[in-house]
Structure 1
Amino acid sequence: MFKRQIILLLLFFPVCLSAQQKEISVRVHNQPLSKVLVNLRDKHAIRFSFDDNLLSQYKVTLNKTFTTPESAVRELLKPFPLAFSRQGDVFVIWEKAGRPVTHGRFYLKGYIKDDKTGEPLAFSHILTNEKNTVSDVEGYFSEIVSHDSLYHLIISHLGYYILDTLLSPENMHVIRLSPSSVRLQEVKITGKAIDYVSQIGQQPGIIRLNSKVATHLPGYGDNSVFNLLRLQPGILASGEQTNSLIIWGSYTGQSKVMFDGFTVYGLRNFNDNISSFNPLMAKDIEVMKGGYDARYGERVGGIVNISGITGNTKKVSFVLNVNNMTLNSLLEIPFKNRSALVIAFRHTYFNLYNPSDYTLHRKDTAARPADISIHVVPDYVFRDMNIKYSGLTGKNDHYYLSLYGSNDLFDYNINQVIQFRKILKNTQEENTQTGGSFFYGKSWKKGASTNFLASFSLLQKKYGSDYRRIKTWSGVVDTLDKTLSHNSLSELTVKADNRFPVSAHHTLEFGGGLIANSSYLKVDTFDVAMSDINVSSSRAFAYFQDVISAGKQFTLKIGSRMTYAFNLQKFYPEPRISAIWKPSEKWTFTLAWGLYNQYVAKTSVVDNQGNYRYLWAVCDNKDIPVLKAMHNVAGVSFAKKGYIISLEGYFKTIDGLSRFFRYRNIVTPGIYHGKGRSYGLDLMLKKDYKGSTFWVAYSLSRTEERFDYFPKRLRKFRRAPQDQRHEVKVGVMVNLHPVYLSANYVYGSGFPIAYNQGQKIEKNYPYSRLDVAASWKFLNRKLKGEIGLSVLNVLNTQNIKFSNFEKVPLNQTSSINIYAEAIPFTPTLYLKLSF
């Protein structure tokens, strides 16, 4: 069992170097050795790692002066059965074994958990004498070591104090980390370092985010997860596209968002107010922008993997959050300290939008643009619920059952006279998302582990559009559009992931499973059935990868993923390779390459006015080809004294794009296919200091496409709809506990907006938004509270939402562009109570 140890990690006095050059005097009489070492820490900034209970048993009497820390430590330990080694600038002290150290194969393993709630801490970093390791989704880690003596470990997790400790092999350890955001005023933790907002540059294409700090960012509170995501390099923030993340130039639907192992396809989320994820349920956020390993597939873009909380196993707790729009609540109920039930619920409590004026633009053959103001009355209802039961069984085996359901309804009406014509337009969209997963994690005796997961997900989208134009002088009614559509996509997955340490520097990871998708599409136009398609697809997949490490400096992953599509009767190999080289503690170099396939696609549909809509479909390699992509990723990062500089480049190609055209003015209606490519650079500069963080992220990118409907003389790569050249993000979070201040600014150079008679209009609409926020925690022993104020778009800059742009005809020569303006100047207020 894991012995409780108090590790003194000492980082005081910035004049550490000059202090160590002075003489070290030890004048003590019959004092515990642990106390003597603490005094040396305070006076000379010498760092130690030891078992406090062990060293307090030994009494020291000494009066002597030393010229170096090594000589002082050696003299202090000389009378006792203790030994030490220096690892970096830390003196690690342990008890000499009563028997010789045995060399061979031993297993260093354990679970990492939250000290307050018992929550497993997924993807924690473990640095040992011999290598680096990352825990799995349930906080479990294991590695083979070469002898059975004590090992020095440094364990870190975003948002928690770093633990410096000693562990012995063979026992199953339970290691508890203390959260850096301590709720009770009476509790103070000093002398320890903290992991802050994000980890970047340590693995190719991967960012890990601290969900605990997301609540301090400006926003409504219900979208804090996506607020944090949008401020990372490589993730599009301009245009406020949150219901389908655009990562490294990927098209909508090509990036995957997972919660507790099941896919979330995204809600309408019309104006960036409410995200698909309840922030009270989020625990760990891992962003894989590209070049990810063979364990992950089914997408040609990026993957965002969010792990939900497992619940407080120690006491009943309740959280209530109220903001301008929604009520959000969370209830945690423990059962016998080994399991917990979590229930979370959100609901809008009044109409989200007030009637507002939108500025519309008309262009005619005379090329005389005129602004037209149309009164739009939107209506919006949103609700969702999470239910999760998780616990322990057997000897630390973990399990959970997670369920999710949500409904999002949006519609707007236009009823206004323009140029002697009365415009009547009604648009409605309803999205229903359900999902769930069952997980069981088993740890074996020899350090191996198996994770079993069964999950399902279902998205249903209903869309209706009715557009009529009445000539006021004659009363003649022209019905220009009457469309009803129903689109659904389901996914059922059963899989098992295995991890088996072979040697101290060699680990095998392998697994496989089954995936079944079904898509349904029905479209009626003017009461005539245009489409009625129901397609299913099932696939078997297996993967294998070898993780080879050469100490702490080099890690190589070589693997492949193989998928067999039953409906296509075809194998799809996906080889992957990645490497991490750390020549020193400060520098990290990363490389990754891989092939990726996607078997369901979100196909773009272009109507007679050039408007884009997106529908899900199962790939059949006829109308909808299987998407194929190649990722190339390379990066370098530098970290020192809280500073992080990360530079990452990528080049991606994609084949199998599909686009359905109903735009008769450009091409013959039908389905067309194309290719795409994207490349760019992400730069991240970040400084962490005493709980506060400042960062600057810059993305330089280009995304291009080439379709077979392009005119032959112009059939070359041109800008894709989501292409944007420059994006800059600046963020700052100041921890003045119990007061927190934050601000962020986003600038984007803009997207190409429209096509005209086959000729692309290269007009960009830049994006600019400044947000600020302040929050205050008022605490006592039982009831905890937090109140926050945010001001979004402080400068009231007019921006256009990328996903809400619509063109409707007015007459033979004029049309109206209807676009939803992004968030204007908006103050928001939230109150959070918990016990």
Structure 2
Amino acid sequence: MKRVIIFLLLGLVFSTISAQKIKLTANKKPLSEVLIDLRDNYDFQLSFNNNLLSTYIVSINQSFSSKDETIEFLLRKLPLNYEKSNEVYLIYPEERIIQYRIFGKILDKESLEPLPFSHLTINNSPMATDERGNFSFTSEIDSTFRILASHLGYFILDTLVNQGANQNILLSAASTDLPEITVTDKIVQTFIKMGNQAGNLKLNHKIAGFLPTNNDNSVFELLRLQPGILAAGEQKNDLIIWGSYEGESQVLFDNITLWGLKNVYEDIGAVNPLVVKNIEVLKGGFDARYGDRVGGIVYITGKNGTRLKPTLNLTLNNITASGSYEQPIGKQSSLLLAFRQTYYNLFKDQQIKYATSNLNLQEQGLDQEAELPGLAALNVAPDYKFHDLNFKFTSNWENGDNFSFSLMTGEDRYSYDITTDVYANAKKHKFEGNNQFGASINYGKVWRNGNTSSLSVSRSELDTRTSDVLTINRIRTNEEFYRRDDESTNSILEYRATLKNSFVFAEDQNFETGLNYINDEVNLKEDSLGINILHIKSKADRIGYYFQNNLNVSSGVSIKAGFLANYPIALKKVYWEPRISISLLLSDKIGINGAWGLYKQFITKSSVLSENGDFRYIWVGANEKDIPVLESVHHVLGASYNNNGFTFSVEAYYKKTDGHTRYYKFRNEGNISLGKSKSNGLDVFVKKDIGDHTLWVSYTLSKTLENFDYFSSNNYRRALHDQRHEIKTAGLLSLKPFYISANYIYGSGFPIYSSQNKVVAEPNYTRLDAALIYKFYPKKTKCEVGILFHNILDRNNITYESYEKIPLNQINSISIYTETVPSSIRLYFKITI
């Protein structure tokens, strides 16, 4: 009995001890000493590394009800873990996931120019650099990275790189212009690269210098040879991409919006080729980073200027003088200055075409053109002047940050006078003047963890002034019975600020976010016979935000999903634009991609239909009353095959757009009509490289239909820029130091409507150009001489929307077609010092 009582008393004592609170007090005390106190005061059995735990300092004043709770609380915020075995607490370092990271830039080996939008494969994961050549990648497996880097016009580099920051990957240009260097054991990508994103292609502008393009307009000529970008019609002020209307596609140069690609006679474009480094074309289905257009986007990156030695380029042809100068400033900065100036009238006396479906030309004693029935010739001497200037300062720091300031300004003047005595004595004077100005400040930041941010602020402005004077007198009496004197000024000004961020989340995933503010101001004023008939001022400012998740699901499978949200301040409404795209690399040779997206546009180029039936375009801002926000849905599906210098790609698209606007007069009253359109088509591209020679062919099958509410029926009809077939082929034969090239363009033509809205003609477009270039290297200079042959077959093509209708009476009218490319020869000389 006594033994039972003793055991009960002992159990009561032990249970009392075990139930008591564990009081723990420490002020900035090493964890190892805190654990020793627990061992001494509360009979903890512990096993740990004293040196390791002494590095963690603890401050605590708290009570615990159990030993497990005490240990868990002490270790909860520390990289430590524990196991309990037979009442012994074994404390050990937590197993941490080690991330190995690499980030840096892709650079031109010769000039140290960053190469934007270069393609990389790092440890079998495909990716692309940003607009400043930056890349970043994280791995949890190995600290050594295998990098496969490529950029159009450069040799592909396959190398191994250890982890670390600011890794500069240097690529060698294929056309190095040094004849004594021959590289035979490397692969080079030459002319065009279809990106791993639907509707995306990258162009090597360096090869444009070998094509039959004028030195002042090689950017536009290179673009018009691509599938899906309209070449027939020689449109002067815009790019028509996948059925988009004027103003629905955007051209950006160093984040500066170019409002007009003025391109009279295919000789001078808005972008100086001497300052161009990279061209990326987004025909449709582009991701959430890009917005503000329902058509396509052309992103042009300008040169920074060499940081190695001063370089001078001078080019002289029989139309313009142009040049550029690049000056290094220290080891990290550079300065670039470029100019172009016409010194000789672009046009001599040329014959332009007029046509009419009402007048009987034979009765008037005029000849008809065999290939274009109903066309006859008029003599006109247009006057054209052009000049522009580019300036850019760039600085790159050792930590990967960069800064640039880019400035461009240009001015052109175009005018002509026409006098004809067909049926009546008609005199016409037409003038158009354009001033383009743009500036941007860009700063790029590379953070210590490899993430990147960039801030861009830009200003862009276009001022256009036109004058159109027409008088018609009767031949017999010289009595004036018709007069028109119209003047207009149309200006558009844009301020844009954009903040972009890229975060590497894991080896197979990264996020992109951005915030932007855009302010557009449009001013339109029109006078007729000195009386103001129209004055429109509109302002559209909006805030936008985008988010995009880039995910590599598995080897060769990539998904981009995100959205763009815009908030126009005046409309007080959020407009959502979801986007998604997928890319599948079935092998090293075969790829499939697709994309879907919703796109909005808050400023638009509305068409204006005059009483005479001719069209022109004006910029206006959306107000959701009479001018709706443009909305378009893109569906894109494509596939490509690349093997041993042979490329084959095919892309299909379908676009549906709502919100077109058109001003027209009906019964002497002005009206605004709303319309919608649908476009679909197929692009096919085939290219073959044979040694240093290149040949490519592109074919576009397309259809664009429109429906405006002023149409007499509710049926869709062909848009003015609708063309069913277009074939473009080009070839380059390299016989160093001679280079021979040619390109041929065929278009099935646009519909020409009569006053009854019936298609009365659809003339084909054909054009053949060729070039012969000779390169030589006297002393330490690089020189080339070229002869360019434009429109060799002297086809009388009709330009798209570049005609004027002259009314002769209530029944008859004459349409004047101007600015087509005549058969001509251009000579040029270029020297690089």
1:418 aligns with 2:454: no
- Equivalent residue runs for 1:269-668 within 5 Å: 269-364=263-358, 371=366, 372-393=376-397, 395-419=399-423, 421-662=424-665, 664=667
Which residue of 781, 793, 796 maps to 2:794? 796
CA separation of 1:575 and 1:368: change in aligned 2, threshold 3 A: farther
Q: CA deviation at 1:678?
A: 0.2
Alpha-carbon distance in structure 1 between the residues aligned to 2:740 and 2:818: 30
Alpha-carbon distance in structure 2 between the residues aligned to 1:468 and 1:500: 64
Alpha-carbon RMSD: 1.7
Other-structure match for 1:722: 721
Q: State the Cα deviation string for residues 568-622 of structure 1 (Å, max 9, x = none).
A: 1111100000000011111101010000011111111011110001111111122
Q: CA deviation at 1:242?
A: 4.2
8 Å Cα contact 2:773/2:784 also seen in 1: yes
Q: CA deviation at 1:368?
A: 7.2
Q: State the Cα deviation string for residues 294-350 of structure 1 (Å, max 9, x = none).
A: 000000000000000000111111000111211010011110121111000001101
Q: CA deviation at 1:525?
A: 1.1
Alpha-carbon distance in structure 2 between the residues aligned to 1:310 and 1:194: 23
Other-structure match for 2:126: 132
Q: Tell me, which stretches of 5 or more residues in structure 2 are unaligned?
A: 1-94, 367-375
Alpha-carbon distance in structure 2 between the residues aligned to 1:226 and 1:827: 19
Alpha-carbon distance in structure 1 between the residues aligned to 2:690 and 2:448: 41
Alpha-carbon distance in structure 2 between the residues aligned to 1:369 and 1:175: 72
8 Å Cα contact 2:108/2:114 also seen in 1: yes
CA separation of 1:330 and 1:462: change in aligned 2, threshold 3 A: same
The 3-state SS of whatever aligns with 2:721 is coil
8 Å Cα contact 1:440/1:452 also seen in 2: yes
Alpha-carbon distance in structure 1 between the residues aligned to 2:322 and 2:252: 21
Alpha-carbon distance in structure 1 between the residues aligned to 2:554 and 2:115: 24
Other-structure match for 2:733: 734
Other-structure match for 1:13: none
Other-structure match for 2:749: 750
CA separation of 1:279 and 1:369: change in aligned 2, threshold 3 A: farther
8 Å Cα contact 1:610/1:754 also seen in 2: no
Alpha-carbon distance in structure 2 between the residues aligned to 1:204 and 1:572: 24
Alpha-carbon distance in structure 2 between the residues aligned to 1:734 and 1:243: 32
Other-structure match for 1:820: 818
Q: State the Cα deviation string for residues 32-72 of structure 1 (Å, max 9, x = none).
A: xxxxxxxxxxxxxxxxxxxxxxxxxxxxxxxxxxxxxxxxx
Q: CA deviation at 1:416?
A: 3.2
8 Å Cα contact 1:201/1:646 also seen in 2: no
Which residue of 107, 110, 118 maps to 1:116? 110
Alpha-carbon distance in structure 1 between the residues aligned to 2:162 and 2:236: 46
Q: CA deviation at 1:821?
A: 5.5
Q: State the Cα deviation string for residues 656-696 of structure 1 (Å, max 9, x = none).
A: 000000365xx953110010010010001111232321111
Look at both structures and tell me which one has the larger radius of gyration over its CA atoms. Answer: 2
Other-structure match for 1:85: none
8 Å Cα contact 1:643/1:686 also seen in 2: yes
1:106 aligns with 2:105: no
Alpha-carbon distance in structure 1 between the residues aligned to 2:96 and 2:741: 53
The 3-state SS of whatever aligns with 1:280 is helix
- Equivalent residue runs for 1:152-231 within 5 Å: 152-200=146-194, 202-231=196-225
Other-structure match for 1:689: 690
The amino acid that maps onto 2:100 is F
CA separation of 1:179 and 1:394: change in aligned 2, threshold 3 A: closer
The amino acid that maps onto 2:397 is T
Alpha-carbon distance in structure 2 between the residues aligned to 1:569 and 1:171: 44
Alpha-carbon distance in structure 2 between the residues aligned to 1:570 and 1:342: 43
Q: State the Cα deviation string for residues 765-804 of structure 1 (Å, max 9, x = none).
A: 1001111112111014411101111111121122111131
Q: State the Cα deviation string for residues 502-550 of structure 1 (Å, max 9, x = none).
A: 0000100001111000000000112221111111111000000100003
Alpha-carbon distance in structure 1 between the residues aligned to 2:324 and 2:266: 22
TM-score, normalised by the number of residues in structure 1: 0.85
Aligned residues: 729
The amino acid that maps onto 1:719 is R
Other-structure match for 1:771: 769
The amino acid that maps onto 1:300 is V
Alpha-carbon distance in structure 2 between the residues aligned to 1:178 and 1:394: 22
Alpha-carbon distance in structure 2 between the residues aligned to 1:819 and 1:434: 30
Q: CA deviation at 1:417?
A: 2.5
CA separation of 1:794 and 1:402: change in aligned 2, threshold 3 A: same
Larger mean Cα displacement after TM superposition, 409-418 or 328-337: 409-418
Q: State the Cα deviation string for residues 93-128 of structure 1 (Å, max 9, x = none).
A: xxxxxxxx9963111211111111110011111112
Other-structure match for 1:59: none
Q: CA deviation at 1:270?
A: 2.4
- Equivalent residue runs for 1:17-28 within 5 Å: none
Alpha-carbon distance in structure 2 between the residues aligned to 1:196 and 1:551: 29
The 3-state SS of whatever aligns with 1:675 is strand
Larger mean Cα displacement after TM superposition, 700-709 or 189-198: 189-198
1:808 aligns with 2:811: no
Alpha-carbon distance in structure 2 between the residues aligned to 1:103 and 1:622: 57
The 3-state SS of whatever aligns with 1:253 is coil
Alpha-carbon distance in structure 1 between the residues aligned to 2:131 and 2:238: 24
The amino acid that maps onto 2:577 is E
The 3-state SS of whatever aligns with 1:245 is coil
Alpha-carbon distance in structure 2 between the residues aligned to 1:433 and 1:785: 31
Alpha-carbon distance in structure 2 between the residues aligned to 1:106 and 1:202: 26
CA separation of 1:362 and 1:584: change in aligned 2, threshold 3 A: closer
Alpha-carbon distance in structure 2 between the residues aligned to 1:762 and 1:678: 22
The amino acid that maps onto 2:537 is N
CA separation of 1:663 and 1:809: change in aligned 2, threshold 3 A: farther
Alpha-carbon distance in structure 2 between the residues aligned to 1:478 and 1:762: 28
8 Å Cα contact 1:628/1:655 also seen in 2: yes
Q: State the Cα deviation string for residues 457-488 of structure 1 (Å, max 9, x = none).
A: 00101011110012232232234211010000
Alpha-carbon distance in structure 1 between the residues aligned to 2:695 and 2:684: 14
Alpha-carbon distance in structure 2 between the residues aligned to 1:369 and 1:720: 33
Q: Tell me, which stretches of 5 or more residues in structure 1 are unaligned?
A: 1-100
TM-score, normalised by the number of residues in structure 2: 0.85
8 Å Cα contact 1:721/1:752 also seen in 2: yes
Alpha-carbon distance in structure 2 between the residues aligned to 1:635 and 1:676: 23
Alpha-carbon distance in structure 1 between the residues aligned to 2:284 and 2:290: 11
